Structure 1
Amino acid sequence: MKSIVVSVMLLAITLIAACSPGTTNGQNEVNRLQQAIQALGPDVDPFEAERAARLAYHHATALAEQYQVSTSPILHNTLVNSGVRQRGLCYHYAEDMQARLRQENFQSLGILRAIAEPRNNFRIEHSSAVIVPKGADIYSGIVLDPWRHGGNLFWSATSKDPRYDWEPRMTVLRRKNTRRIEAPN
């Protein structure tokens, strides 16, 4: 009987370990983002690049836990919009990621916001934080998008994002305001 219990426990531990994400893969992703941030420019501090990459990954996960994300991002949006959940829309992730990274007071990096206007029939815009070399615009940066995969950080060069055409947040907001003012009553 004792050997059966031990065997079942060993099997359970093996299955849990096999199904758990490895820390090596997570660290590899952090390292890849760190290298991409470092490559943004010669003045980017390597220690800040490492800290920003690590924080971006960890904060994306923490936000999903805080927002109680348990479904796809679109379904979670429905929960937020119907009042079942309080936060978890893309702009919540964007503003919370931006705020957290800005707390670090990076000297060689800036944290900006970007919006992609809809390219779909649902007319849904998307917001994200962007990390850039200090003083640069969003087009010189990397999109940090924790919403897209429900708390698993997606990142890419702003201009190479396969899914969205990013613009500075204020550019999009001004354009929307102009459209609203010019729209017939």
Structure 2
Amino acid sequence: MPTMQTFRLLLAAALLCGWSSCCTPPAEDYIQRPYVQQQMSGLANAFLGLLPPEKAALPAARAEAKWLADTAVVQSAAIARNNRIVLFGWLNNILVNSNLRDRGLCWQVQQDLYRDMRRRPVKFFRVGLTIRDHGTGREHSCVYVNAAGGGLQGSIVLDAWKNCGHLVVLTQKDREGGKWEEDWREPFVSKAFPEGHSYGMDHHLVWPGWARKRPLLIQRMFQSGQQEEAKASGSAAAHKEAGASGGGASKAA
């Protein structure tokens, strides 16, 4: 069977298998639902819990916490709608790497949420970037929030990608056992999206080489398949030739 046809069949099978478990991004009226309002309120309180009590009681700190929480929940849903995110990271990655979707990888969603949470300068909090399992095939990128001057340790991690725009919140305890670290890209991303910027949702970062990398990923998949087929064909031919030679020798004897 041709390699391209094999790939298409595998892709179709993956889509069909995942379809029943896929979700759609939250609707535009999603934030009006009581449980979403409760999530935003609870997240704001969690952010305030990162501060010393005397600072958490300040109206300015409470306003910042509410804005960050509301933005995180609202924009996670909006980013998913904009990118047409689907559940299951591996399925979404297949769609993007196969050029069936333009965007939607976890680091793209991470940087979109970071962009949206940097539109307002904040005094009491810090918005940062984190990456889990860096350097492996399982690496995952998220945003985190901590008190001003703080880093990843003790922060609250926000995952807008995992659950199709329904924001997932991870505390330090939730992250135990995982290899989370500061994202090496943050110095570059923070310069692209300085605090108080006014960029819209159509403003994305394109990392050097990414536009060229996508078709190369597919090309390498095909080349790998062709190499495996060539090896299999070569082994079969060699086995057949060896059998024929053995039969001829026996007949001559």
The separation in 2 between residues aligned to 1:79 and 1:72, in whole angstroms, is: 11
**Equivalent residue for 2:117?**
101
Query: Among 65, 70, 95, which residue is 1:54 paired with?
Result: 70
**Equivalent residue for 2:46?**
36
Q: Structure 2 unaligned segments of length 5 or more: list them.
A: 1-29, 186-253
The answer as to 2:107 corresponding to 1:91 is yes
Shift of 1:32: 1.2
**Equivalent residue for 1:140?**
154
The separation in 2 between residues aligned to 1:135 and 1:71, in whole angstroms, is: 34
Determine if contact 1:159/1:166 at 8 Å carries over to the other structure: no
Higher Cα Rg: structure 1 or 2? 2
Superposition TM-score, scaled by structure 2 size: 0.55
Q: Which amino acid aligns with 2:111?
A: E
- For the aligned residue pairs, the C-alpha RMSD in angstroms reads 2.4
Query: Which 4+ runs in 1 deviate beyond 4 A?
Result: none
**Equivalent residue for 2:241?**
none
The separation in 1 between residues aligned to 2:147 and 2:42, in whole angstroms, is: 17
Give the fraction of aligned pairs with identical amino acids, expressed as a percent.
Answer: 26
- The structure that is strand-richer by fraction is 1
The separation in 1 between residues aligned to 2:31 and 2:125, in whole angstroms, is: 30
The separation in 2 between residues aligned to 1:145 and 1:158, in whole angstroms, is: 14
Q: Structure 1 unaligned segments of length 5 or more: list them.
A: 1-19, 172-185
1:89-168 mapped onto 2 (5 Å cutoff): 89-117=105-133, 123-161=137-175, 164-168=178-182
Superposition TM-score, scaled by structure 1 size: 0.73
**How many equivalent residue pairs?**
150
Determine if contact 2:87/2:163 at 8 Å carries over to the other structure: no
